[in-house]
């Protein structure tokens, strides 16, 4: 039989790279530490607003910063149809694709653990990191990439309903419950009441699972709770976020027209918002990012569709790619950006203190020093990414 000619290589979608770059920039910009500036200027409503948007909400609700992880996870799903098409164009077999998928999953898990262990005295086996959460769910996402859209929506529904049921049947704290094992208190101001209490911080099913699972690994001391309320099992509803991205990526890749695609994105976002908000206000399921409740999957998914539609409209439909080159530089090398943000920020800062001035960040006064040092770090990190972009040096997993 005559061999089929390879299909043309798949082109990158600029709007996806710009959206990914925007998300990674928000993460990298943590070095600006708006909270420190807000503390220096307590009467400033502007810096209070900026601090809120750069912080995770204590429990129920959402800030711009809370949308970083779901957006990154969502975009993993968006990119998958293009990745599969690219590998098919290189005549890769399905077993070869599965080998790459499992390898990528393991690398993401191990890289997440490595980055969380950098300042520890021993390996910090923790699985709530963004990369680790994606790695845990990625093989399941890959399997769904070969399924129909109906099966993908069905899988999303099963995942979210089953996850909610597990939380709902886990017993609430009784009168003799030991709150010292949770890192919180019975009268914590953000505790929920009634049925919604099944999703309270460190008294839920995911917390109970981690009290067993995390202690299977070598640790300096026994694991009792995660201070932020994060949990390993969040990778399950995070997979739901990636499935939403997979659906969006399939639409993006095969859309008959830009108007059709934007309309579909908008309708999907509206439905996700309505369902999530109804679940939240009725107390059936609160919108909590830290444990990735099903309502959070839907609510953050709605925002992901809105943001992808906005970037697609401006970058691809209106052809304003040149406006977003600084973000595209970051978005095309997102793994490198993620690693830089977790490894070289202090090195850059110390290098400036040694070679420029110990007080280089005080040029605009004490209150703005983190803005100065953070801006320097961001500029150097972006310059490295730009150099890699021009040299076509990309970290691929």
Confidence category of residue 12, pLDDT binned at 50, 70, 90:
confident
Taking residues 379-395, what's their average pLDDT? Answer: 96
Question: Which tokens belong to 308?
Answer: 């992808």
- Distance between the two ends of the chain, CA-based, in angstroms? 34
- Report the chain's C-alpha Rg in angstroms: 22
Q: What is the pLDDT of residue 1?
A: 29
Residue 218 has pLDDT above 50, yes or no: yes
Distance CA 220, CA 28 (A): 30
Q: Is the distance from CB of 238 to CB of 246 less than 8 angstroms?
A: no
Confidence category of residue 6, pLDDT binned at 50, 70, 90:
very low
Continuous segment of H or E residues that includes residue 371: helix 369-390
pLDDT digits (tens, 9 = 90+) for 145-175: 999 999 999 999 999 999 999 999 999 999 9
Of 3 and 307, the one with more pLDDT: 307
Residue 211 has pLDDT above 60, yes or no: yes
pLDDT digits (tens, 9 = 90+) for 332-360: 999 999 999 999 999 999 999 999 999 99
Question: Which tokens belong to 21?
Answer: 């770059």
Q: Is the distance from CB of 333 to CB of 389 less than 8 angstroms?
A: yes
Average pLDDT, the chain: 95
Residue 113 has pLDDT above 80, yes or no: yes
Distance CA 261, CA 323 (A): 22
Of 1 and 92, the one with more pLDDT: 92
Location of structure tokens 């996806």: 16
Residue 293 has pLDDT above 80, yes or no: yes
Q: Is the distance from CB of 179 to CB of 173 less than 8 angstroms?
A: yes
Q: What is the pLDDT of residue 10?
A: 53
Among candidates 78, 8, 156, which has minimal Cα distance to 312?
78
Confidence category of residue 119, pLDDT binned at 50, 70, 90:
confident
Residue 184 has pLDDT above 80, yes or no: yes
Question: Residue 100, class by beta-carbon neighbours within 10 Å (0-12 exposed, 13-18 middle, 19+ buried)?
Answer: middle
Distance CA 146, CA 119 (A): 40
SS3 (DSSP) at 227: coil
Distance CA 369, CA 360 (A): 9
Among candidates 336, 257, 348, 304, which has minimal Cα distance to 75?
304
Q: What is the pLDDT of residue 314?
A: 98
**Percent of the chain predicted with pLDDT > 90:** 95
Q: Is the distance from CB of 324 to CB of 90 less than 8 angstroms?
A: no
Distance CA 197, CA 69 (A): 24
Residue 290 has pLDDT above 80, yes or no: yes
Location of structure tokens 């993006």: 252
- What DSSP state is assigned to residue 288? B
Residue 179 has pLDDT above 60, yes or no: yes
Of 7 and 42, the one with more pLDDT: 42
Location of structure tokens 């390996």: 123
pLDDT digits (tens, 9 = 90+) for 234-288: 999 999 999 999 999 999 999 999 999 999 999 999 999 999 999 999 999 999 9
Query: 3-class secondary structure for 208-220?
Result: HHHHHHHHHCCCC
Distance CA 214, CA 128 (A): 11
Angle between helices 235-254 and 130-144 (to 10 degrees): 50
Query: What predicted TM-score, i.e. pTM, was given to this entire model?
Result: 0.95
Q: What is the pLDDT of residue 5?
A: 34
Question: Residue 388, class by beta-carbon neighbours within 10 Å (0-12 exposed, 13-18 middle, 19+ buried)?
Answer: middle
Among candidates 105, 66, 76, 110, which has minimal Cα distance to 300?
66
Q: How many residues make up the chain in this entry?
A: 397
Q: What is the pLDDT of residue 2?
A: 32
- What DSSP state is assigned to residue 124? -
Q: What angle do CA 238, 242, 247 make, to 5 degrees?
A: 145
Q: What angle do CA 84, 253, 307 make, to 5 degrees?
A: 110
Q: Is the distance from CB of 321 to CB of 330 less than 8 angstroms?
A: no
């Amino acid at each position: 039989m005559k061999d089929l000619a390879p299909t043309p290589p798949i082109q990158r979608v600029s709007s996806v790279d710009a959206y990914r770059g925007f998300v990674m920039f928000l993460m990298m910009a943590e070095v600006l530490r708006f909270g420190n500036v807000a503390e220096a200027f307590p009467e400033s409503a502007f810096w209070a607003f900026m601090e809120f948007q750069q912080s995770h909400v204590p429990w129920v609700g959402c800030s711009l910063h809370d949308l970083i992880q779901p957006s990154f996870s969502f975009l993993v799903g968006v990119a998958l149809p293009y990745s599969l098409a690219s590998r098919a164009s290189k005549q890769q077999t399905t077993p070869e694709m599965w080998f790459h998928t499992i390898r990528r999953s393991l690398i993401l898990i191990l890289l997440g653990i490595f980055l969380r262990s950098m300042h520890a005295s021993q390996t910090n086996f923790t699985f709530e990191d963004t990369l680790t959460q994606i790695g845990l769910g990625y093989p399941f996402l890959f399997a769904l990439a070969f399924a129909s859209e109906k099966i993908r929506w069905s899988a999303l529904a099963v995942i979210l309903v089953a996850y909610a049921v597990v939380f709902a049947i886990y017993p609430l704290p009784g009168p003799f419950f030991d709150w010292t094992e949770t890192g919180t208190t019975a009268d914590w101001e953000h505790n929920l009441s009634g049925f919604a209490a099944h999703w309270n911080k460190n008294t839920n099913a995911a917390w109970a699972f981690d009290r067993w699972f995390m202690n299977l690994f070598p640790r300096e001391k026994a694991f009792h709770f995660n201070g932020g309320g994060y949990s390993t099992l969040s990778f399950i509803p995070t997979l739901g976020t990636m499935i939403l991205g997979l659906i969006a990526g399939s639409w993006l890749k095969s859309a008959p027209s830009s108007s059709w695609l934007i309309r579909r994105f908008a309708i999907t976002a509206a439905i996700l918002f309505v369902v999530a908000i109804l679940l939240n206000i009725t107390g059936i399921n609160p919108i909590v990012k830290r444990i990735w409740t099903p309502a959070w999957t839907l609510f953050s998914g709605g925002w992901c569709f809105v943001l992808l539609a906005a970037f697609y409209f401006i970058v691809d439909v209106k052809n304003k790619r040149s406006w977003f080159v600084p973000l595209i530089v970051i978005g095309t090398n997102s793994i490198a950006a993620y690693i830089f943000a977790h490894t070289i920020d202090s090195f850059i800062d110390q290098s400036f203190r040694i070679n420029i001035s110990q007080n280089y960040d005080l040029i605009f006064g004490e209150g703005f020093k983190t803005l100065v040092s953070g801006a320097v770090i961001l500029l150097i990190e972006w310059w490295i990414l730009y150099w890699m972009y021009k040299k076509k040096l990309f970290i691929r997993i």
